[in-house]
């Protein structure tokens, strides 16, 4: 009976985790601004638990007087552990744009993009290299170290990427990533806990009262 209950709980949690996404990387803390013009900028993101990329949010600022629309393409790579550079194998690419012209000097969420159609699945403790192929006249919003998840505070520029200092410090570009965790990992945890609990319960019944 208890085994059936444990399996039921594991299956229930597995089903819940199929649709439950969480923000596992965010660099949104105190900000600085830097004009990047038309260039390729790179940042990294450490996805501690692994899983499937679910959503991407990108923040920017328009630095020219007047309103302008903005587009850029963003490409996801596995980080190259051998070279220490973010341009490992490409996992997929999206294009983002402001739905309305961006007023001068306003920091805003440019777009929130559903990443599920790309089906990018990451093993645990994956490190991503995120390439931002910028358009003209836009400032990337730079933030401090991420408040959620973990990442090195490095930026790169160009193709191939070269490490670059900005304003005398190394910072992160303003973006967030949501991930759906791998379901089986949650199910295994529940099953393991339930399996440990059963012998403890049985042994307590055998103890003299």
Sites in the chain below the pLDDT cut of 70: 1-19, 36, 99-100, 136-137, 183-209
Neighbouring C-beta atoms of residue 74, cutoff 10 Å: 20
CA angle 164, 34, 133 (to 5 degrees): 70
> Same domain, yes or no, for 121 and 189?
no
Alpha-helical segments (H) within the chain: 2-19, 183-206
Answer yes or no: do 48 and 81 share one domain: yes
Q: Which residue has the tokens 């819940």?
A: 16
**Distance between CA atoms of residues 129 and 152, nearest Å:** 11
Q: Are residues 196 and 168 in the same domain?
A: no
Structure token pair of residue 24: 């596992």
Number of domains forming the structure of the chain: 2
pLDDT digits (tens, 9 = 90+) for 17-37: 455 789 999 988 888 877 767
Conformation bin of residue 27: beta by default, left when phi > 0, alpha when psi is -120 to 50: alpha
pLDDT on residue 7: 54
Integer Cα distance of 113 and 177 in angstroms: 10
- Answer whether 51's CB lies under 8 Å from 181's CB: yes
* C-alpha–C-alpha distance, residues 95 and 110, integer Å: 11
- State whether 13 and 88 are in the same domain: no
CATH code, 118:
2.60.120
The 10 Å CB-count burial string (b at 16+, else e) for 109-146 is: ebbebebeebebebeeebbbbbbbbbbebbbbbbbeeb
For residues 123 and 39, membership in a common domain is answered with yes
Rounded distance, CA 120 to CA 145, Å? 24
pTM of the model: 0.77
Return the structure tokens found at 189.
């945890």
| Residue 86: exposure state from Cβ atoms within 10 A (0-12, 13-18, ≥19) | buried
Residue 75 to residue 96: CA distance in whole angstroms: 11
Do 106 and 153 sit in the same domain of this protein? yes
- Model pLDDT, residue 94: 95
Cα torsion 131, 137, 138, 140: sign: positive
Both 158 and 209 in one domain: the answer is: no
What domain range is 51 assigned to? 22-180
Q: What is the DSSP string of 164-208?
A: --BTTB--EESEEEEEEPPHHHHHHHHHHHHHHHHHHHHHHHHS-
């Amino acid at each position: 009976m208890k085994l059936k209950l444990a399996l039921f709980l594991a299956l229930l949690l597995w089903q819940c985790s199929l649709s439950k996404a969480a923000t596992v990387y965010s660099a949104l803390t105190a900000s600085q601004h830097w004009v990047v013009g038309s260039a390729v900028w790179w940042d990294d993101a450490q996805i501690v638990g692994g899983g499937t990329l679910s959503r991407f949010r990108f923040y920017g600022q328009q630095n020219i007087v007047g309103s302008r629309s903005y587009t850029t393409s963003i490409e996801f790579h596995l980080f190259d552990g051998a070279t220490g550079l973010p341009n490992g194998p490409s996992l997929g690419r999206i294009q983002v744009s402001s739905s309305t012209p961006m007023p001068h000097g306003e920091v805003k969420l440019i777009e929130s993009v559903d990443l599920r159609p790309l089906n990018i699945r990451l093993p645990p403790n994956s490190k991503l290299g995120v390439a931002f192929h910028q358009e003209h006249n836009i400032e990337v919003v730079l933030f401090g170290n991420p408040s959620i998840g973990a990442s090195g505070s490095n930026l790169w520029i160009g193709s191939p990427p070269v490490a670059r200092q900005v304003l005398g410090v190394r910072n992160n570009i303003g973006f967030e990533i949501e991930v759906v965790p791998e379901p089986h990992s949650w199910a295994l945890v529940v099953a393991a806990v339930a399996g440990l609990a059963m012998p403890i319960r049985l042994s307590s019944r055998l103890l003299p009262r």
